[in-house]
Amino acid sequence: MNLAEKKLNNDFYIESPLPPKRTRMQEFRRLFGQNRLAILGLFIFILFFCCAVTGLFLTSGSKPIFDPAMVRLQEKLRPPLAKPNLDSLQPQEVPALGVYLMGTDDLGRDVFSRMLQGAWVSLTVGFVAVGISVLIGIFMGGIAGYFGQHHIRTDQVLFTLALIFGTGLMLINVTFIGTVILLLCLAYIFYSLLARHGSTEKETPALKAMLHSNAVSVDTLIMRIVDIMLCFPSFFLILTVVALLPASIYNIMIVIGLTSWMGTTRFVRAEFLSLREQDFVAAAKALGLSNFRIIFRHIMPNAIAPVLVSATIGIASAILTEAGLSFLGFGVPPPHATWGNILSNGKNFIFDAPWLTFIPGIAILIVVLSFNLFGEGLRDVMNPKLKERH
Amino acid sequence: MIDERTTHDKPLLCVENLKVYFQSNGERAHAVDGISFEVREKETVCIVGESGCGKTVSALSILGLIPTPPGEIVDGQIIFSGQNLIKLDEKSMQKIRGNHISMVFQEPLTSLNPVLTIGDQIGEAVYTHKQIEPEALFQYCVQLLNDVGIPSPKQRLSDYPHQLSGGQRQRVMIAMALACDPDLIIADEPTTALDVTVQAQILALLRSIQKKRSMSVLYISHDLGVVSAIANRIYVMYAGIMVEQGNTDQIFRSARHPYTQGLLASLPSLSKRGKRLHSIPGSVPNPAYKPTGCPFHPRCSHAILSCREEFPEMCDYSEGHQARCPILFKSKGYKESSPPQRAGKDSKGQVIRHKTGG
Amino acid sequence: MLSFIGRSIVQKTITLFFVSIVSFLIIHLAPGSPSQVDPLNPKFTPEMVERFQKEFHLDRPLYIQYIYFYRDLFTGKTVSWKDNQSVLKKIWERFLNSLPLFVVGTLITWTLSFPVGIRSAIFRGGIYDRSATFISYVLISIPGFFFAYVLIIFVVTYLHVPVIGLETFGIGDAPATYLFMDRIWHLLLPSMLGATGGIAVLSRYVRSQMLEVEGQDYIRTARAKGLPPEQVHYKHALRNALLPFVTMFGLILPGLIGGSVIIESIFSWPGMGRMAYEAILARDYPIILTVNFVSAVLVLAGTFISDLLYLVVDPRIRL
């Protein structure tokens, strides 16, 4: 053996070649990029977003470029790309581009302007409603998942009920009984706080033991609330509330948000339940981190994935719900335009002016489709099981 | 260079230059990079290697169970009973699977269908390949369960997998594999998921069955202790290639490849009590990013420049014993296997060659 | 097993109780009052309003009203405020109308979703899968009434099929077969409409469940045994993939009373959905509350049945 043949690994060993390091973002982008439909969805969503924002600027203010509210009865039901009849119009009534891009509706309003205005409204309705529902869902789901095993004592249940009852009575002006009940609650709270300081008894009397017994766990409580909410058919609930409350865009957004958090709660709870048992949580606890920090910095980022997916799909469904409500007459009140408005308006003229139905309908279809595709693409990317399958 | 093999009888299974690559995430992983091995009749062959070396993939490709979108058999042939299994169409493969070649998997709980009874799952293995009347089927299954040592087999047949213990489930898997009296059983780490005592029972069971039915067994494992107990011949696998092959004696007493020596040296034993535990530095390479030349060279203390540049060929030692390390082959005088010492510089600044002996 | 049933029933009854309270509160605490007692409504004189209030206990505190209402509900005496008919009778009539729509729709949905989903999973990535996926997405995304109108225009203009209402006007005297065929014609489009959305969602779910099961180890074992592919897919994979769907079966129950308001409005189908809708508009509290209550009962019964079915079907769960 040639002594001069130098050994490669003398005091250390050579590192085997490593695969290129990819950050999570790059990995995500690459996986997502393989799904063409999802990319298309994202693209359309961005397009929609830009339209909505520019539409907002172009149609708002007192002298907007595209005026959605300008009524020109003499020009009603003109088809798309029709030239305006310049003789019958005043100068400020002539549409901006010199042509009715998408025709006019039964009041002579430019459909294109209304669509632009409606884009922003649909977008806001979708995002705000889903934002509310996701916030509630994460909150409820997180508490149920993380603190699920904590129990609520019987006396706590009792005096919460009494508090609600008392407040309710106060609200409907049954002041005397209401005040009495509220005072009793306060007294009980003081008493229990004091008693804890001074209690040295070894034996707890039977009544006290019963009051301190565990009534129900936090998890059960929250899941029962979810069950109760699920008992109401959602569309009816929305319909009921919207019909009974004064019509306004904010009411609709809030109501849709308040009635669709149950799914998110279930997802978040399931994720929390499984993540809570993992070692990294035990490690964090062993380090002495507060519960708050563990939940928000450690568990939450892992649990976010299904929430994002359901949020995206939730936006799609919120837009469809708003359209449905408009169809039934409970949508955003006129003269504000939403795509649902235009669509439901158009149903009366379906044979004379089909563009009034088709244009918003197809627009809603494309936007909702893009959200759904994007959401499904997200789900495929974030699903660890599907990832292994190639 | 294809190795010359002196075989007494024609081998039952002969794998030649098998290459299986996986395409995923933009990477091409060379899971199996040209291995050759054979199994003769009535013998137990073990393929040994760490996780990630490609042994399971090799086993699965014999039966054509590699999922084809990511995986692909790129080259090689698998000769069984005169047929090249790679070229066989699906219908003919189905006739071989479970019938002439059967497989026992590693995780008995997930490998059994949770919603079907044991009897159902064993019975269908029999029914698909053999023509047995339904009445005789039941008795046949009872006999099978008896053979694998499950008590009260008649009741067990109507149980579901989750009602059995881990060891019993693995026995059921073995029963399913034996159902049609195969010529070859492939066992992919069947005892890894079991306790040590159960492990010993299953190994004893395999041995007795093999003797009784004169089958061949291809046993895949990473556990050298298990291998020493049951193997006739051993193939050592690393990063998708065979690095050493020989019978049990040759491998355990005179291993000739640094990797095999490292594996053996890592086994804790009483004789090494008080001494520092040996381990092979580094880790198994990623199948998509393998080192150039000899895949073991980054972790090998004998490595020299040519190890990085050229892919080493198999070197013949003695009857059936081959190792893929020309360096050790050339350094004659190497008798026993011993923990390779780290090369260092001696007091004169000269590179120390390895010392022989223990 | 019995203890599970017992516990379930108790829990569900408690939930039901809370649901009844919540729905009662929502209705009564909402602003505005039923048209009959609206002081601004010119149709009703003050004496009539007062009589109405006395009759329906509207002048009493809420909890008393609550007790009265539910007492009447359970004894079947609740009466609609609009036309003084018994609520239960009204609901029953409309229910009989909605039932064929529901049954046909559900049948179409469930019989078509499974083959589509299973085929998509087995031939994953192929032409069938990709087109089925795309069509599903489109069907989920299309606004219901838009799709309805498109279909109606198409069907009426080109196929001359009558679509509106339960039956063609004036057909009352025709022989039974004509009547029957007529009913089927009218039933076809609304139920298909209701089914398309359901098929889209359900087939995707079937597909994803099948895919998940097909990746499991025991499928690999089944193939290693040399079983033919049909046996692997249908006997081994499908049995496991179907487990969650058996439980979904129980959840169809609430759909009985749901009915789609939109579909019924478009097709002028006198069903439950429209009745509830009109009741909401008219603030006909008894009907709203009763429909709500029945729906809650159905939801809870549906989940109960799902749990039971799951116990029966999955051998791993034995209580």
Does pLDDT of A4 surpass 60? no
| Interhelix angle A300-328/A354-382, nearest 10 degrees | 170
The pLDDT value given to residue B242 = 92
**Beta carbons within 8 Å of A105's beta carbon, 6+ residues apart:** A76, A77, A111, A114, A342, A345, A346, A353, A356
pLDDT band at A134 (very low <50, low <70, confident <90, very high): very high
Q: What is the mean pLDDT of residues C266-293?
A: 80
Closest Cβ–Cβ partner in B24, B69, B288 for A19? B288
Which member of A6, A13, A19 has the closest CB to residue B298?
A13
Residue that wins the pLDDT comparison between C136 and C247:
C136
- Answer whether residue A179 shows pLDDT above 60: yes
Min Cα–Cα distance to chain A from C225, Å? 22
Q: Which residues of C touch B160 (CB under 8 A)?
A: 315-316
Task: State which of B238, B270, B293 marks the end of a domain.
Answer: B293
Q: How many domains does chain B have?
A: 2
d(CA B301, CA A2): 16
Across the interface, whether the CB atoms of B69 and A390 are under 8 A apart is answered yes
Residue B233 lies in a domain: yes
Q: Which strands make up the sheet holding B83-84, listed edge to edge?
A: B27-39, B13-24, B71-80, B83-84
Chain C residues with beta carbon closer than 8 angstroms to that of A233: 254, 257-258, 295
* pLDDT tier, C39 (very low <50, low <70, confident <90, very high otherwise): low
Over residues A224-231, mean pLDDT: 84
- List the CATH number of the domain containing B73: 3.40.50.300
SS (H, E, C) chain B: CCCCCCCCCCCCEEEEEEEEEEEECCEEEEEEEEEEEEECCCCEEEEECCCCCCHHHHHHHHCCCCCCCCEEEEEEEEEECCEEHHHCCHHHHHHHECCCEEEECCCHHHHCCCCCCHHHHHHHHHHHHCCCCHHHHHHHHHHHHHHCCCCCHHHHCCCCHHHCCHHHHHHHHHHHHHCCCCCEEEEECCCCCCCHHHHHHHHHHHHHHHHHHCCEEEEEECCHHHHHHHCCEEEEEECCEEEEEEEHHHHHHCCCCHHHHHHHHHCCCHHHCCCCCCCCCCCCCCCCCCCCCCCCHHHCCCCEHHHHHCCCCCEEEECCEEECCHHHHHCCCCCCCCCCCCCCECCCCCECCCCCCC
The contacts of residue A117 (CB under 8 Å, 6+ apart) are A55, A56, A59, A60, A68, A336, A337
Q: Give the model's confidence band at B353: pLDDT under 50 very low, under 70 low, under 90 confident, else very high.
A: very low
Residue A2 reports pLDDT greater than 50 = no
Q: Are residues B137 and B286 in the same domain?
A: no
Q: Indicate if B189 and B88 belong to the same structural domain.
A: yes
Closest Cβ opposite residue B102 in set C217, C224, C227 = C224
Contact C217 B110 (CB under 8 A): yes
Beta bridge partners of A118: none
Per-residue pLDDT band at B76 (split at 50, 70, 90): very high
Stated pTM of the model: 0.78
Q: Give contacts of B124 with chain C, Cβ < 8 Å.
A: 225, 227, 231, 235
Residues of chain A positioned with their CB less than 8 A from the CB of C138: 365, 369
> Which of C223 and A161 is assigned the larger pLDDT?
C223
CA torsion angle A118 A125 C200 B70 (round to 10) = 100
**Highest mean pLDDT range out of A99-108, C65-74, C131-140, C179-188?**
C131-140
DSSP A82: B
Q: Which of A106-115, B97-106, B344-353 has the lowest mean pLDDT?
A: B344-353
Q: B97 — contact with chain C (CB < 8 Å)?
A: yes
Residue that terminates a domain, selected from B276, B293, B310: B293
Smallest Cβ distance to A19: which of B289, B303, B345?
B289
Please indicate whether residue B232 or residue C85 has the higher confidence score (pLDDT): B232
Q: Which residue in the set B63, B97, B107 is minimally distant from C217, CB to CB?
A: B107
The answer to whether B85 touches B96, Cβ cutoff 8 Å, is yes
Work out the pLDDT band at C248, boundaries 50, 70, 90.
confident
* Pair B190, B133 in one domain: no
**Across C114-141, average pLDDT:** 88
What ipTM does this complex have? Answer: 0.80
For residue C137, the chain A residues in CB contact (below 8 A) are 37, 369, 372-373, 376
**What is the least distance, in Å, from the CA of A228 to any CA of chain C?**
6
pLDDT at C252 over 80: no
Q: What is the pLDDT of residues B188-230, one digit of tens each?
A: 998 888 888 888 888 888 888 888 888 999 999 988 888 888 8
Residue A309 pLDDT > 70, yes or no?
Answer: yes
Work out the percent of chain A whose per-residue pLDDT is above 70. Answer: 82
Q: Is residue B334 part of a domain?
A: no
Are residue B214 and residue B85 in the same domain, yes or no?
yes
| Across A320-346, average pLDDT | 81
Contacts of B348 (CB under 8 A, 6+ apart): none
Residue with the bigger pLDDT between A172 and C11: it is C11
Query: What are the tens digits of pLDDT across the range B252-294?
Result: 888 889 899 888 888 777 777 777 777 787 888 888 888 888 8
> Worst-scoring range by mean pLDDT, A72-86, A214-228, B101-115, C165-179?
C165-179
Same domain, residue pair B123 and B95? no
Least confident window among A29-33, A223-227, B239-243: A29-33
A334 preceded by cis ω (within 30°)? no
Quick one: B285 and B207 in the same domain? yes
List chain C residues with CB under 8 Å of B90.
Answer: 229
What is the distance, to the nearest Å, from the Cα of residue C78 to the centroid of all Cα atoms in its chain? 24
Q: Which domain holds residue B39?
A: 1-100+185-293
Residue B29 belongs to a domain: yes
pLDDT digits (tens, 9 = 90+) for B304-343: 888 888 888 888 888 889 998 888 887 754 444 444 433 3
Q: Which residues of B touch C217 (CB under 8 A)?
A: 105, 107, 110-111
Please compute the mean of the pLDDT values over residues B342-350 and round it to a whole number.
Answer: 41
Mean pLDDT computed over C164-168? 66
Same domain, B193 and B61: yes
C41 confidence band (pLDDT: 50, 70, 90): low
Tell me what pLDDT residue C165 has: 67
Test the B interface: residue of A2, A9, A29, A388 with most B CBs within 10 Å: A9
What confidence score (pLDDT) does residue B346 get? 42
Chain C residue with CA closest to B96: the answer is C226
- Spell out where chain A has E strands: 151-153, 214-217
In the predicted model, is pLDDT for residue C305 greater than 60? yes
Check residue A132 and give its pLDDT.
Answer: 93
pLDDT at A192: 72
Report which of A109, A88, A90, A91 is spatially closest to residue A100, judged by C-alpha positions. Answer: A109
More confident residue, B346 or C42: C42
β-pairing, B241-247 vs B44-48, is unpaired
Longest dimension (CA), chain C: 85
**Domain boundary, last residue among B257, B278, B293:** B293
Task: Say if residue B81 is in the same domain as residue B115.
Answer: no
Q: What is the mean pLDDT of chain B?
A: 83
- Give domain status of residue B67, yes or no: yes
Task: Give the residue-averaged pLDDT of C299-310.
Answer: 84
Instruction: Write down the pLDDT at residue C44.
Output: 65
CB contact under 8 A, B303 and A3: no
**Same domain for B88 and B118?**
no
Establish if B317 belongs to a structural domain: no
- pLDDT reported for residue A10: 61
Question: Which candidate from C14, C262, C288 shows the least CB-CB separation from A324?
Answer: C262
Asked whether residue B39 is assigned to any structural domain, the reply reads: yes
Chain-chain contact of C146 with A365 (C-beta, under 8 angstroms): yes
| Residues C174, C171: Cα–Cα separation, whole Å | 6
pLDDT of B168 over the 60 cut:
yes
Domain shared by B40 and B168, yes or no: no
C-alpha distances (whole Å) from C51 to each of C54, C71, C287 are 5, 21, 20
More confident residue, A47 or B271: A47
Name which of B245, B240, B237, B280 is nearest B261 in CA terms: B280
pLDDT number for residue B58? 92
The mean pLDDT of C214-222, rounded to a whole number, is 90
Q: How confident is the model at residue A184 (pLDDT cuts 50, 70, 90)?
A: confident
**Is B342 within a domain?**
no
Chain A residue whose CA is closest to B288? A19
Of C224, C236, C243, the CB nearest to B113: C236
CA A312 to chain C, closest CA, distance in angstroms equals 13
Residues B280 and B140 in one domain: no
Q: For residues B350 and A357, give the distance between their C-alpha atoms in angstroms, rounded to a whole number.
A: 90
Residue given tokens 């397009």 in the structure block: A47
Say if residue B191 is in the same domain as residue B173. Answer: no
Query: Does the pLDDT value for residue B157 go beyond 70?
Result: yes
pLDDT at A388 over 50: no
Any domain includes B261: yes
